[in-house]
């Protein structure tokens, strides 16, 4: 059903064409790198299939099972959609999705997604850098964090009729993390409109952090002075911190983060070592210089 909806067909094919060239250029340079992360923004690792990416999801608004979102997210109305941008910004307002999509060039970014549950996937997202949006709306001095909220609509989100989490789902980034060129607002995957189970029509993607930071179906982005409350930290601050950087040396209290299971990797040999910052250390380690990441987990 998602594949036949060509609403953004005027946007993605051109972006994909441009990005194939970028990716091919980056690919040649990355052949020598051990895990192919050294150059460019995309990994050259084998991509998960569309079927894997859209049938093994965490989206608690639609239930706790990995297959619940694929089964029940179809009922979500994503048109019309608007995003409230407020707080310490020069141009606050309710922005129609169409206007949000114009805030930056749509690119293809092939990123690893590493869930805190110690599984991972490789996903070819389409989206634009959050930095472009923030520059368009104008960040006021005094803003140090960005807070995000997911839609709250229990009539269409059965999980919100139960108390799995404190709704709406909330996430946050420090401003320098939000401005980092790796940080994406995803609006599609595999060149298709973003499937609802993956957070349609627009979701955050922060590839060096555990998957729960990548909040889905975003309706509000607020620039704030103080570190905002985030759903998982609020639920269990001993197990989930604000930073949530992928870190093989800092265990979750109930399990190791040293290795991960690649979804679709086959029965044998599907566990692999987890890489610091999910492999993006060259680009992001400097953001945390001087910080103790066992304390700021």
Ligand X SMILES: Nc1nc2c(c(=O)[nH]1)N[C@H]1C(S)=C(S)[C@@H](COP(=O)(O)O)O[C@H]1N2
Residues binding ligand X (CB under 6 A): 57-61, 113, 115, 150, 169, 198-199, 211-212, 214-217
Q: How far apart are alpha carbons 1 and 4 in whole angstroms?
A: 6
Binding site partner of 215, from Mo ion, ligand X, none, Cβ cut-off 5-8 A by kind: ligand X
Binding site partner of 198, from Mo ion, ligand X, none, Cβ cut-off 5-8 A by kind: ligand X
Is residue 89 classed as helix, strand or coil in its secondary structure? strand
- The answer to whether the CB of 177 falls within 8 A of the CB of 183 is yes
Q: Give the one residue of 26, 115, 133, 246 binding Mo ion; rule: CB under 5 A.
A: 115
Q: Which residues in the 42-71 window bind Mo ion by CB under 5 A? A: 58
Q: Which residue is nearest to ligand X (CB)?
A: 211
DSSP-derived secondary structure for 195-244: PGGGTTT-EEE-TTB-GGGS--SEEEEEEESSPPP-HHHHH-TTT--SS-
Distance of CA 242 to the CA centre of its chain: 15
Is residue 255 classed as helix, strand or coil in its secondary structure? strand
93-96 β-sheet, strand order: 93-96, 82-87, 218-224, 145-150, 170-174
DSSP 281: H
Binding site partner of 113, from ligand X, Mo ion, none, Cβ cut-off 5-8 A by kind: ligand X
Q: How far is the CB of 158 from ligand X (least distance, A)?
A: 13
Q: How far is the CB of 239 from Mo ion (least distance, A)?
A: 12
Q: Give the one residue of 37, 119, 145, 212 binding Mo ion; rule: CB under 5 A.
A: 212
Q: Which is nearer to ligand X, 30 or 245 (CB)?
A: 245
Q: Which is nearer to Mo ion, 143 or 203 (CB)?
A: 203
Binding site partner of 169, from ligand X, Mo ion, none, Cβ cut-off 5-8 A by kind: ligand X
Q: Which is nearer to Mo ion, 172 or 211 (CB)?
A: 211
Q: How far is CA 154 from CA 54, 159, 170, 194, in A?
A: 22, 7, 16, 21
Kindly state whether residue 211 participates in binding Mo ion, applying the rule CB under 5 A: yes
Binding site for Mo ion (CB under 5 A): 58, 115, 211-212
């Amino acid at each position: 059903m998602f594949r036949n909806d060509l609403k953004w067909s005027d946007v993605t094919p051109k972006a994909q064409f441009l990005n194939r060239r970028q990716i091919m250029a980056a690919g040649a340079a990355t052949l020598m790198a051990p895990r192919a992360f050294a150059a460019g923004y995309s990994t050259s690792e084998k991509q998960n299939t569309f079927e894997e990416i859209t049938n093994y999801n965490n989206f608690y608004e639609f239930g706790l099972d990995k297959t619940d979102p694929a089964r029940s997210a179809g009922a979500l109305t994503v048109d019309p959609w608007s995003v409230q941008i407020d707080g310490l910004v020069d141009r606050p307002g309710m922005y129609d999705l169409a206007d949000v999509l114009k805030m930056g060039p749509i690119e293809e970014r092939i990123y690893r997604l590493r869930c805190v549950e110690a599984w991972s996937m490789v996903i070819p997202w389409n989206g634009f850098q959050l930095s472009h949006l923030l520059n368009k709306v104008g960040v006021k001095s005094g803003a140090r964090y960005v807070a995000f909220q997911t839609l709250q609509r229990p009539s269409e989100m059965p999980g919100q009729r139960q108390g799995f989490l404190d709704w709406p789902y909330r996430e946050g980034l420090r401003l320098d993390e939000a401005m980092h060129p790796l940080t994406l607002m995803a609006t599609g995957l595999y060149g298709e409109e973003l499937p609802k189970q993956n957070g349609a029509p627009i979701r955050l993607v922060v590839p060096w952090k555990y998957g729960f930071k990548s909040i889905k179906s975003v309706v509000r982005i607020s620039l704030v002075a103080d570190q905002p409350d985030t759903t998982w930290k609020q639920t269990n601050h001993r197990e989930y911190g604000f930073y949530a950087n992928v870190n093989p040396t800092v265990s979750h209290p109930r399990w190791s983060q040293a290795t991960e299971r690649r979804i679709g990797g086959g029965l044998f040999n599907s566990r692999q070592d987890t890489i610091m910052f999910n492999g993006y250390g060259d680009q992001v380690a400097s953001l945390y210089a001087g910080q103790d990441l066992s304390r700021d987990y």
